[in-house]
A = this chain, B = another copy of it.
Amino acid sequence: MNTVVGVIGGGQLARMMVPPAINLGLEIRVFAESESSPAEMAATAIGDYTNVDSVFAFAQGCDVVTFDHEHVPQAVLTELVRRGIRVRPSPESLIFAQDKLLMRERLAALGIPVPGWAKASTAAEVDSFLLEYGGRAVAKVARGGYDGKGVRIITSSADITQWLTALAPGESLLLEELVSFRRELAQLVARRPSGELALWPVVETVQQDGVCSEVIAPAPHSAGRIADVAAQIAADIAEGLNVTGVMAVELFETTDDRILVNELAMRPHNSGHWSIDGSTTSQFEQHLRAVLDLPLGATGMTEPFSVMVNILGGPQAGGLPSRYAQAMKLHPTAKFHSYGKEGRPGRKVGHVTASGDDLADVAYQARGASAFFQH
């Protein structure tokens, strides 16, 4: 009898769960949206993840069902649970990664440090918030945004008239203080149902146009207080929200020296891709272990530093392999990852990680190797 993990969603996160599943001898099955997807090599069903019967048919043969993304509706998730499917993370936990307003409310209740925030459903509420926070703020749609989509810096309610008028009765937008931060950090944590936690070193994340472009592990100048605070925040959230699997907590390191929570992702996350090559246990292997309630693996780094650079756009034809001959020749230590996607401007199609004991050289190798594909 094989141990079977089902993954809803056929994106690159599902794809990157396949190698550790093969290594561990676990059977992985993917419910993909279309015939051609990054995780197609493990797809056993193609369908619509909002259709509960399709998802249930897929899930029946699985020991546990988990996710490539957070978009599966609560109604589908709770019905799967009602029909006896083991869903991890649970719908009750996942809701906080699906709805930014619920997340802010819950984190506030748990005493987790977050930027100033408010709900708003009218122009008057928006303008009142702007007045309180000095005339600038961040507006976010509560559900469905990602990679900078559904997030806007505003100076007037007029900037988001469309979002306000599109709100259904009872819905609100999230308004947040525009935090003055020195840099962004991310703390990756894994938790299994029995309660065991594992934390990787806190990392620095660099964004371009709202999309992660680079990750440095560990975050420079983070030893001591910053690492301790980030770890404590992530542990408190994982326990407070009863998370199962990997969770990424995106953080601001502010100019007034505070660590505030920005966003949560309740799945493996771009900020943890470096762990495939740079940690004893990758976030993808750890996610499989956690959702199966297996003991978690060691999260130490195999080398002192890792730098991961995303490949956005990519070659229009031939994919990353069409440029390996040049890139590999100059960067023999770089680890190349292709998601098997067609190149398209701004699209995440792969990443490169380099590791070693000299951060300047490691960053040079990762940036240099990725440059061959960035257009």
Q: B324 and A294: CB pair below 8 A?
A: yes
Interfacial chain B residues near A317, Cβ < 8 Å: 1
A68 to chain B, nearest CB (A): 15
Q: How many residues of A contact B (CB 8 A)?
A: 46
Give A341's nearest chain B residue, CB to CB: B25
Quick one: CB contact mask for A1-32 with B, threshold 8 Å, 1 for yes?
11100000000000100111011111000000
Q: A25 and B339: CB pair below 8 A?
A: yes
| Binding-face segment, A205-213, A218-226, A326-334 | A326-334
Quick one: CB contact mask for A298-322 with B, threshold 8 Å, 1 for yes?
1010110000000000000111111
Interfacial chain B residues near A41, Cβ < 8 Å: 22, 41-42
Quick one: CB contact mask for A334-375 with B, threshold 8 Å, 1 for yes?
011111100000000010000100000000000000000000
Q: A338 and B297: CB pair below 8 A?
A: no
Q: Given the complex of chains A and B, what is the CA–CA distance between A276 and B289 in angstroms?
A: 19
Q: A280 an interface residue at 8 Å Cβ cutoff?
A: yes
Interfacial chain B residues near A2, Cβ < 8 Å: 319, 321
Q: A296 an interface residue at 8 Å Cβ cutoff?
A: yes
Residue from A15, A23, A276, A336 whose CB has the most chain B CB atoms within 10 Å: A23
Q: Which of B22, B26, B295, B338 contacts A325 (CB 8 A)?
A: B295
Interfacial chain B residues near A324, Cβ < 8 Å: 24, 294-295
Quick one: CB contact mask for A155-191 with B, threshold 8 Å, 1 for yes?
0000000000000000000000000000000000000
Q: A321 and B25: CB pair below 8 A?
A: yes
Q: Which of B1, B19, B22, B340 contacts A25 (CB 8 A)?
A: B340
Q: Given the complex of chains A and B, what is the CA–CA distance between A45 and B167 in angstroms?
A: 53
Interfacial chain B residues near A298, Cβ < 8 Å: 332-333
The contact sample of 16 A-B pairs, CB cut-off 8 A, is A1-B318, A2-B321, A19-B20, A19-B22, A23-B337, A24-B324, A25-B336, A25-B337, A25-B338, A25-B350, A26-B321, A294-B328, A295-B324, A295-B329, A295-B332, A298-B332
List A residues at the B interface (Cβ < 8 Å): 1-3, 15, 18-20, 22-26, 41-42, 276, 280-281, 289, 294-298, 300, 302-303, 317-322, 324-325, 328-329, 332-333, 335-340, 350, 355
